[in-house]
Amino acid sequence: MPSDSSPPSDDRPEEPRDRIGPSQSGFWPRFWFNVCQYSEYYFMLLIMLTVFAVLNAIAMLLAEQSTASFVISVMVFVILGTTGGGVALVLWQCNRMRAPKEYNESA
């Protein structure tokens, strides 16, 4: 007769860990796996940032530039460049993770 003080047995099988990616148990591998699922949206964002930068450059060339408008245009370039650099790093990391192991080891 089993005692009532024993913990209840859980007969459910453990969920497979491969839903988060192959052999990814740390924080950063899971983080990059989740981020890279949306890489096509990051690529579209990079294209949009490039279009905004081109439009800003055209506006700087065509419009009369006072000191204030020049400073604002430069600030827009800094914001677009910083955001574009971050998105480019995310896309680079995602491409590096998807590359075959032979390619990663040779770099």
Q: Look up residue 1 and give its DSSP letter.
A: -
Q: What is the structure's pLDDT at 4?
A: 57
Token pair in block for residue 21: 């990616």
Token pair in block for residue 72: 């604002």
Q: What is the structure's pLDDT at 98?
A: 87
Q: Is the pTM of this model over 0.75?
A: no
Token pair in block for residue 11: 């007969």
Dihedral (CA of 2, 8, 9, 12) sign: positive
Pairwise CA distance, residues 76 & 39, whole Å: 24
CA angle (70, 74, 75) in 5-degree steps: 115
Consecutive 10-residue runs of the chain (107 residues): their mean pLDDT? 56 50 74 94 97 95 86 95 97 90 64
3-state helix, strand, coil in the chain (%, to 5): 70, 0, 30
